[in-house]
A and B are shown apart, each in its own frame.
Chain A
Amino acid sequence: TQLLEQSPQFLSIQEGENLTVYCNSSSVFSSLQWYRQEPGEGPVLLVTVVTGGEVKKLKRLTFQFGDARKDSSLHITAAQTGDTGLYLCAEFTHSGAGSYQLTFGKGTKLSVIP
């Protein structure tokens, strides 16, 4: 299982600002997912990226998958207080014999201040 590095670990910004968080690995991702988790709740899937160079947009969120599929970024435009949460990237991998699992990075804790 490869190690997923997320940066920054913590980010505090003013409402209306833009931000980017990153997810990196030394190995090629098979497929990468981004989640947002609010305190006391389970993570909620935002997007899955599979193809190198892929860009997906979800309202003010833009997800990019690196050409080499070793890194991904999440850019939020004009952040709102409702964007506050823990942003997690996760790799979905098959571990043989029909089994699979999801491995999470350590996350970026985002706080958007009004």
Chain B
Amino acid sequence: GAVVSQHPSRVICKSGTSVKIECRSLDFQATTMFWYRQFPKQSLMLMATSNEGSKATYEQGVEKDKFLINHASLTLSTLTVTSAHPEDSSFYICSASKRTSSVTGELFFGEGSRLTVL
């Protein structure tokens, strides 16, 4: 199988602090990683797409200076929520693709990270 792990699964922080969420592909090399945000009772909204070694591509309306994405290796991408505010509280989910994903359409999702900003 292809396992994607996120850490931390839950994080609570104070307003104004920064929080880093990690997304790791445990048993495969992830050429591309995607970051999604999900508000309660809503669907997943794509925030950004990141390819290893290059800058992330952000979706319209997503502040790149607010949500810093780093994809430094083929097995790790990080999302840093800078100067977090209560409205940033959400469920953040990453997914990763293999080299064959462009053909198979198969992406592998992490377990998600629940961020609560007080």
**Most interface-central of A45, A94, A101 (chain B CB within 10 A):** A101
Q: Identify the stretch in B11-19, B40-48, B72-80 within 8 Å (CB) of chain A at 4 or more residues.
A: B40-48
A30-56 CB contacts (< 8 Å) to partner B: 31, 33, 40-45, 48
Q: Is there an interface contact between A101 and B34, defined as CB atoms closer than 8 Å? A: yes
The smallest C-beta distance from B61 to any residue of chain A, in angstroms, reads 13
Residue of A nearest to B110 (CB): A42
Residue interface mask A80-114, B partner, CB < 8 A = 1: 00000000100010100011111111110100000
B88 within 8 A of partner (CB): no
Interface of B is mostly: strand
Q: Is there an interface contact between B109 and A42, defined as CB atoms closer than 8 Å? A: yes
Chain B: residues with Cβ within 8 Å of the partner, total of 28
Q: Is there an interface contact between B34 and A106, defined as CB atoms closer than 8 Å? A: no
Q: Is there an interface contact between A104 and B105, defined as CB atoms closer than 8 Å? A: no
Q: Is there an interface contact between A88 and B44, defined as CB atoms closer than 8 Å? A: yes
Listed A/B pairs (6) with beta-carbon separation below 8 Å: A42-B95, A42-B110, A42-B112, A45-B107, A88-B44, A94-B102
Q: Which of B6, B34, B57, B114 contacts A102 (CB 8 A)?
A: B34
Chain B residues in the interface with A (C-beta under 8 A): 4, 6, 32, 34, 36, 41-46, 49, 57, 91, 93, 95, 97, 101-102, 104-107, 109-112, 114
Q: How many A-B residue pairs have CB under 8 A?
A: 57
Chain A: residues with Cβ within 8 Å of the partner, total of 23
* A83 CA / B29 CA spacing, docked (Å): 32
Q: Which of B41, B101, B111, B112 contacts A100 (CB 8 A)?
A: B101
The smallest C-beta distance from B98 to any residue of chain A, in angstroms, reads 12
Other A-B contacts than A99-B49, A100-B102, A105-B43, 14 sampled, CB-CB below 8 A, are A31-B105, A40-B114, A42-B4, A42-B6, A42-B95, A43-B109, A44-B109, A88-B43, A99-B57, A100-B101, A101-B46, A104-B43, A104-B45, A106-B43
Residue of A nearest to B44 (CB): A104
Interface of A is mostly: strand
The smallest C-beta distance from B8 to any residue of chain A, in angstroms, reads 13
